């Protein structure tokens, strides 16, 4: 029964998204359209991000040691990355490109040409 060894699954590379933690982004569509915020966390497996002050949902919390009162909490929910566009240093939303500068690959705003990293 144990003749064949199971081959380890090949690990895939983490996808390269146009949004990184700490970027300022604007929401393109949905209930929070037009709002700006800073990216707090990016979920690479699901293609979503949590943006500060955007996509606020209400959550009912049970009483616990962390939350002794319980009740209704408001918190940010993940939003799809396709609904977000990076804002460059001049304050304009812009698409993101990559180019090689020396030995490094840097992200830049296509509208203004400014480096984002």
Residue located via tokens 């037009």: 34
Instruction: Say which CATH number the domain at 86 has.
Output: 2.30.30.30
- Which pair of structure tokens corresponds to residue 115? 């480096």
29 lies in some domain: yes
10 lies in some domain: no
84 lies in some domain: yes
Counted domains in the chain: 1
32 lies in some domain: yes
- Which pair of structure tokens corresponds to residue 98? 């990559």
What pTM value is reported for the model? 0.79
80 lies in some domain: yes
User: Within the chain, how many helices (H) and strands (E) appear?
Assistant: 0, 10
Range of the domain at 50: 24-62+70-90
13 lies in some domain: no
- Which pair of structure tokens corresponds to residue 68? 């002794």
Compute the CA torsion angle 67, 70, 72, 74 (nearest 10 deg). 0
Q: What tens-digit pLDDT sequence spans the chain (117 residues)?
A: 566 666 665 567 777 899 999 999 999 999 999 999 999 999 988 899 999 999 999 999 999 898 888 899 899 999 999 999 999 999 999 999 999 999 999 999 999 999 987
16 lies in some domain: no
Are 21 and 44 in contact by the 8 Å Cβ rule? The answer is no
78 lies in some domain: yes
């Amino acid at each position: 029964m144990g003749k064949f060894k199971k081959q380890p699954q090949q690990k895939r590379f983490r996808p390269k998204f146009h949004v990184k933690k700490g970027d300022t982004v604007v929401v393109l569509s949905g209930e929070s359209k037009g709002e700006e915020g800073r990216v707090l966390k990016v979920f690479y497996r699901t293609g979503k991000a949590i943006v500060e002050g955007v996509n606020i949902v209400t959550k009912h919390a049970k009483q616990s040691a962390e939350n002794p009162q319980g009740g209704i909490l408001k918190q940010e929910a993940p939003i799809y990355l396709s609904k977000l566009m990076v804002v460059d240093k001049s304050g304009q939303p812009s698409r993101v490109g990559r180019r090689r500068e020396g030995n490094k690959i840097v992200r830049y705003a296509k509208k203004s040409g400014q480096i984002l990293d």
